Structure 1
Amino acid sequence: MRVFPCGRTGSRLLLVAALALLAVPAARLSPAAAQPAPAAQPSAAQMDLARKLVVVNGEARAFDGIIPNIVESAERTFVQTNPDLVKQLREVAIVVVLDFNKRKGEVIDILAGAYARRFSEAELKEAIAFYSSATGTRLVLERPVIVQDAVQGIQAWGAQLNQLALEGIRAEMKKRGVEL
């Protein structure tokens, strides 16, 4: 039984976040649209806009479970060496999560900083406008299903490719007189 209601593991969470970042409109990533990167230190206005962007584009929510996952992992470390303290460790972990949840803004700032260092104020405003539009809102709402569909498709593709690789290696080794 999990202590926290978060159903994602840390690695899956990172995969989801990475795939979510791929949903940025393609026009923003095209060489024709590329502009010189803003200064290494973004302005306060850029950071404010970038914070708004990561909320409106849904990326901030992608990290909702990160604090409970980190604390749960730390708890498991202690449970492994102190199984007799499992009940107390769970109780303490819940308290720690409540305290650490105050730090969620730090994750948003990290995400926002990544955007603010790469996009101008005008570009951030355009991205916010897009994600605030009907299409952008739908993209945010559909993203979890799209990512799940893509992950399942990639897993099936990988399994098929693995099978073909096994067959290819067997065939090449057979040519060399080795049966696998």
Structure 2
Amino acid sequence: MKKLFIAILIALPCAAFSQTAQHLKVSEQFLEVSGARTAFDDVVNSMLQTQTGAVPQEHREKFISVMKEFMAKYFNYDVLKPKMAKLYADEFSEQELKDLIAFYSSSTGKKYASKVSVLTTKGMQMGQAAVQEHRDELTQMMQKAFGQ
């Protein structure tokens, strides 16, 4: 009986590890079918465009070159994919990820995946426009709040 108990204690961490590995594998499958690579690349390109706009014209070409080199090394989908898979595995059960995979494999899911970057960008633009439209009121509210 004691040997059986010890065998179970030894086997449990292995079983838990394989379940975690399977969970992460399903999470990576979700990332692939959901269009995460395209969405990630779109966000990176948008960030780069935004940052580039703040750089004086005469330095933009060098800035873009350095940023692309840095991002290729540290901030690209392939480098961050394992961390992203863990992030999703932490938030969704294996079954939930399988359900999401089924959705993103459907025609509606594929359409959504192809539109999510555009929708996100347009949503951000709407938010920025709303703030810009009422900037004076926001400025007054801030001045009042900070006593200026």
Task: Output the TM-score relative to the length of structure 2.
Answer: 0.57
Q: 1:132 to 1:168 in 2, by over 3 A?
A: same
| Structure 1: stretches of 5+ with no match in the other structure | 1-38, 70-79, 81-85, 173-179
Would the aligned equivalents of 2:37 and 2:77 in 1 still touch at CA under 8 Å?
no
Count of aligned positions: 110
Residue 81 (structure 2) pairs with residue 111 (structure 1): no
Q: Sequence identity, in percent?
A: 26
| Structure 2: stretches of 5+ with no match in the other structure | 1-15, 49-58
Matched with 2:94 is 121
Would the aligned equivalents of 1:56 and 1:128 in 2 still touch at CA under 8 Å?
yes
1:52 Cα shift?
A: 1.0
Which protein has greater RCO, CA pairs closer than 8 Å, 6+ apart?
2
**Following the alignment from structure 2 to structure 1, what is the Cα–Cα distance between the partners of residues 82 and 90?**
12
Describe how 1:57-68 pairs up with structure 2 within 5 A. 57-64=34-41
CA RMSD in angstroms comes to 3.8
Task: Output the TM-score relative to the length of structure 1.
Answer: 0.48
Counterpart residue identity of residue 21, structure 2? A
Question: Over residues 132-157 of structure 1, what are the superposed CA-to-partner deviations in whole Å (9 max), with x where a residue is unaligned?
Answer: 11111111111122112111100111
1:97 Cα shift?
A: 7.5
Question: Over residues 88-109 of structure 1, what are the superposed CA-to-partner deviations in whole Å (9 max), with x where a residue is unaligned?
Answer: xx6xx86x877x49x7433111
Matched with 1:159 is 132
Counterpart residue identity of residue 58, structure 1? G
Equivalent in 33, 37, 43 of residue 56 of structure 1: 33
Describe how 1:1-180 pairs up with structure 2 within 5 A. 43-64=20-41, 100=73, 104-166=77-139
Counterpart residue identity of residue 90, structure 2? R
Higher helix share: 2
